[in-house]
Amino acid sequence: MIEFSKYQALGNDFILIDAVRQAVKPGLDFDSTAVKALCARRYGIGADGVIFAVPGIMYDLQMILYNSDGSPAEISGNGLRCFALFAEEKGLVKEKKIHVETGGGSVKLDILSRRSVRVGMPPPKFDRKEVPMIGEGECNDCEIILAGRKFIAAAVNIGNPHCVIFEKMSRDEAQYWGPLIENSPYFPEKTNVEFVKIISPETIELLVWERGAGLTEACGSGSCAAVSAGIKTGRLNFNIPVKVKQPGGILTVTVTDDFKEVLLEGEACKVYDGRLEL
């Protein structure tokens, strides 16, 4: 029997498993088929992803993340906030400030309260080769064409790839265009997709189609990508906390001068504990 916890951050929910103190091997005991079955809404526990806490190599812990379709993912801003509270509750860390290794780079987590965590995300990368995206140079308000529709896009990697579209979309429209952009030839490793409406320099609205998970209630890395791309294209400004409104709630993102820091702050909480039989 394997113990797990269910956490959620603005409706973005995860199954978290302690692989430090339990004899669990991600990828072996839980392969992609098992992860997909656990995340199935009507047949399993139901989640946007599965997160394993494993011993870190250089820092406190390592986070291993799988999407709901069973595919591996590099990083998740919402998942990291859940991970921090889970690690504290399970006694895997002793400090409120912790350093965690992810597939998208190491990050610093500040546990602000029992429900709030600040994440220092990896600095954004805009060169197409680092996103990755086909072509040369940066994609800042560049043109992509799919199914006869032209989009003005910005591409950024913030530990994982993102395509930011500064255009308001309904959920139905995002549900249609999201997977087409995610799986388009422009992005050889696929991409997360953000549809953004700028309300003011301090507020944006966001819908996110997540690579490997679909349309989600909220996305932490997507929020950071949207604000970073907004600054890069001149729509937003450095050093101003931006409220990112999503269906699941509000996150706050602050990007400091020259993209030195990308700080993501928001709530997360435990839903319940349970046990799995392998």
Q: For residue range 157-205, list pLDDT tens digits in order.
A: 999 999 999 999 999 999 999 999 999 999 999 999 999 999 999 999 9
Q: What is the mean pLDDT of residues 254-269?
A: 98
Please report the pLDDT score of residue 86 as a whole number.
Answer: 98
Please report the pLDDT score of residue 109 as a whole number.
Answer: 98
Within this chain, domains 2-121+267-276 and 128-260 share the same CATH topology: yes
Contact 55, 20 (CB under 8 A): yes
Dist. CA 82–CA 95, nearest whole Å: 16
- What tokens were used for 108? 């610093």
Dist. CA 48–CA 109, nearest whole Å: 21
Percent of the chain at pLDDT > 70 equals 100
Q: Give the CATH number of domain 2-121+267-276; options: 3.40.190.80, 3.10.310.10, 2.60.40.3470, 3.65.10.10.
A: 3.10.310.10
pLDDT at residue 142 is higher than 90: yes
- Report which residue type is found at 253: V
Fold of 128-260: Diaminopimelate Epimerase; Chain A, domain 1 (3.10.310)
pLDDT at residue 278 is higher than 80: no
SS3 34: helix
Half-sphere exposure of 167 (CA within 13 A, CB side): 15
Please report the pLDDT score of residue 277 as a whole number.
Answer: 85
